[in-house]
């Protein structure tokens, strides 16, 4: 089967470039020289044990946290100078964030649609709710929703403006398997149909293997592996990503030599 030329063309385009990201919180280094690139339409998982620097990296990519060193470019625009324009290209959803209080789902989505510059968001709201099979929630108050429903509405919010990069922090955390499946299916559709790149953090390795074509492992603020799930697992001599994850988590718990910088000797 021949590849769709327009999709191939899009796939060459770099939507996210981060170079030399460093972030210190007080005396602890959360992110230590991260270089990250995501191409249009690519589905990338950012993995690592707790405290590896995933969320801080995402927050820097989103422009909510400023790096102490390094820079981020989204759609060719540097965040520190053009954050508003760059933000138009990005959507963000996190499983742990509630919906704004005292708004119905439709009002909430309308608010965010307009913040992303959509004058009449109604058709996109309907399409988004239909894609995730929740049109019946349109008139519900945000506080009446279950955590799974909130997550689905959050993803509709994050994708209404057809972002070129969708950033998801733990999108399926604490969801029932059927809702998690609906999330993954919807995300894959969005990626395939709109060419939206996904940058996802997750602790569910099987989900990552099903959804993402590339995984980036972080440990102690550094990228220690970058490749397909099979490549990464093989390079650590493990059968799957979970094995890699457990290995890195154990390494993270081991005492370090005082003052010694943590250098990964991993080939990837």
Partner 1 sequence: MSAGGARVSWLRVRAIARRHAYVLLRSPHRMFDVTLWPLVDVLLFGSLAAFVGQPGASSGTRAAGYLLAGIVLWHVIYQSQIAVSTGFLEETWSRNLLNLMVTPVRESEYVAGVALFGMVKLLIGIGVMVLGALVFFSFDTSSLGFGLLPIAAVLLLVGWCISLLVIGIVLRFGSGAEALAWGVMFVVMPLSGVFYPVSALPDVLQPLALALPTTHAFAALRGLVDGKGLDWAQLGIAAASVAVLLAFSLAFLTRMLALFRRRGYITRYV
List contacts with partner 1 (CB under 8 A).
23, 25, 30, 56, 59, 62-66, 68, 81-85, 87-88, 90, 92, 94, 96-98, 100-103, 107, 110-112, 114-117, 119, 157, 167
Neighbours of 110 (CB within 10 A): 19
d(CA 15, CA 91): 13
* Least CB distance to partner 1 at residue 158 (A): 9
Which residues make beta-bridge pairs with 19?
71
CB closer to partner 1 out of 60 and 180: 60
* Least CB distance to partner 1 at residue 151 (A): 13
CB closer to partner 1 out of 1 and 119: 119
* Least CB distance to partner 1 at residue 30 (A): 8
| Calculated CA dihedral for residues 17, 22, 24, 25, nearest 10 degrees | 10
Assigned token pair, 67: 């790096």
CB closer to partner 1 out of 202 and 229: 202
Radius of gyration of the chain (CA): 19
CB closer to partner 1 out of 88 and 209: 88
* Least CB distance to partner 1 at residue 82 (A): 5
CA triple 224-233-35, angle to 5 deg = 25
- For 118, half-sphere exposure in the C-beta direction (CA atoms, 13 angstrom radius) is 21
CB closer to partner 1 out of 86 and 216: 86
């Amino acid at each position: 089967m021949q590849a769709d030329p327009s999709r191939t063309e899009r796939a060459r385009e770099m939507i996210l470039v981060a170079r030399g990201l460093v972030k210190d919180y007080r005396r602890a280094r959360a992110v230590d020289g991260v270089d990250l690139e995501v191409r249009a339409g690519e589905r990338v998982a950012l993995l690592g044990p707790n405290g590896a620097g995933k969320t801080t990296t995402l927050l820097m990519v989103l422009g909510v946290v400023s790096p102490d060193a390094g820079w981020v470019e989204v759609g060719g625009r540097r965040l520190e100078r053009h954050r508003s324009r760059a933000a138009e290209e990005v959507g963000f959803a996190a499983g742990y964030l509630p919906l704004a209080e005292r708004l119905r789902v439709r009002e909430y989505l309308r608010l965010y649609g307009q913040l992303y510059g959509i004058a009449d968001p109604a058709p996109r709201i309907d399409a988004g709710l239909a894609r995730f099979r929740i049109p019946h929630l349109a008139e519900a108050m945000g506080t009446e929703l279950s955590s799974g429903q909130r997550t689905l509405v959050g993803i509709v919010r994050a994708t209404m403006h057809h972002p070129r990069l969708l950033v998801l922090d733990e999108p399926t955390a604490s969801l029932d398997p059927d809702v998690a499946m609906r999330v993954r299916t919807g995300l894959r559709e969005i990626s395939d149909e709109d060419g939206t790149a996904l940058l996802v953090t997750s602790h569910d390795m099987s989900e990552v293997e099903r959804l993402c074509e590339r995984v980036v492992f972080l440990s102690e603020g550094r990228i220690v592996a970058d490749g397909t799930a099979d490549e990464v697992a093989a390079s650590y001599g493990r059968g799957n990503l979970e094995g890699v994850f457990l290995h890195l988590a154990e390494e993270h718990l081991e005492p370090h030599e005082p003052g010694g910088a943590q250098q990964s000797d991993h080939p990837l």
